[in-house]
Structure 1
Amino acid sequence: MASNRIGRINEEIQRELAALLRTVKDPRVHGLVSITHVDTTPDLRYAKVFVSVLNQQDGKEVIRGLKSAGGYLRRELGRALSLRYTPELLFQEDDSIDKGTHILKLLNDIERKETGGNP
């Protein structure tokens, strides 16, 4: 039962943070930045926020900008959610989309080799 509650809280935090990203004025947070997943601890003290950035070269810079804006994001998140504690936000770059693209490319290469090189 508690895991259902944590799951709903994770989804709500993800939704609110996605909306709040547009209000961050830090110039390092630019381009296509999206929140892919949120993982909150059971005591709701910490929330690990996985961030995907379209341009991978800017990923580390975007994470630094989000960490810098963490206090603002946490305060606004606390206003939007009715929780006893607003979790501390820990931002982490998510490269799962790149890994998925790489795996699809490998599978397509294998398929081309099996069919004799014809696309």
Structure 2
Amino acid sequence: MSRNKSHEGAGPSQRQLRVGETIRRALSEVLARGDVHDTDLNRMSVTVGEVRTSPDLKIATAYVLPLGGEGQDELIKLLARNKGELRRQVAKKLTLKFAPELRFRLDETFDQMDETRRMLNQEAVRRDADAPGDAPGPDSDG
């Protein structure tokens, strides 16, 4: 029987958050310094926005984005190609018993923020937001 059954689905634990941030910093440093022996990857500037770990800390998913947003698919392929070496480099900087398996996903939070800003700047949305009580509610006939 698992001990934290009541916490399943409640979001990451403090330990997961702490380890994820430690991995994010280590991975960012490795990529910024060009410690990987891949010239294609080393020529790219990579932003590591967040790292989320599985509850058992065996898998770490890094959310990344190339600087300027160009070459996103290429970046994911290069990181996947070099994940073994990246794992070893990151492990050297961690104090964990086991180095987690690294997975890479595009960080879409910037796109979501841009889309939200775009929507909020639309005239109809601004008009609705500025008119308190004018819009019909879900229970009204209008």
Bin the TM-score by the shorter chain: 0.7 to 0.9
1:71 to 1:105, Cα distance in 2 relative to 1, 3 A: same
Identity among equivalent pairs (%): 31
CA distance in 1, matches of 2:102, 2:13: 19
For the residues of structure 2 that align with 1:67 and 1:90, how far apart are their CA atoms?
7
Q: Look up the match of 1:117.
A: none
Q: Which runs of 5+ in 1 are unaligned?
A: 115-119
The structure with more radius of gyration: 2
User: Is 1:104 matched up with 2:117?
Assistant: yes
In the other structure, the counterpart of 1:36 is 49
Give TM-score, length-normalised by structure 1. 0.83
Question: Aligned match of 1:49 in 53, 62, 74?
Answer: 62
TM-score by length of 2: 0.70
Q: Report which of the two has the higher share of helix.
A: 1
Are residues 1:59 and 2:72 paired?
yes
Alignment partners' CA distance in 1, 2:65 and 2:124: 29
Residue 21 in structure 1 maps to residue 34 in structure 2: no
Asked whether 1:92 is paired with 2:105, we answer: yes
Distance (Å, rounded) in 2 between the aligned partners of 1:92 and 1:30: 19
Distance 2:90 2:126 in 1: 50
Query: How many residues align structurally?
Result: 113
The answer to whether the Cα contact below 8 Å between 1:28 and 1:64 also exists between their aligned partners in 2 is: no
What is the root-mean-square deviation of aligned Cα atoms in Å? 2.2
TM-superposed deviation, 1:113: 6.5
Relative to structure 1, is the Cα distance of residues 109 and 29 closer, same or farther in structure 2, using a 3 angstrom cutoff? Answer: farther
- The Cα shift of 1:29 comes to 5.5
Report the equivalent of 2:137.
none
Q: Indicate which of 89, 96, 114 corresponds to 1:83.
A: 96
* Structure 2 CA distance for aligned equivalents of residues 45 and 112 of structure 1: 44
Q: 1:21 is matched by which residue type in structure 2?
A: L
Q: Which runs of 5+ in 2 are unaligned?
A: 1-11, 128-142
1:74 aligns with 2:84: no
Letter in 1 for 2:61: K
User: How far did 1:55 drift?
Assistant: 4.2
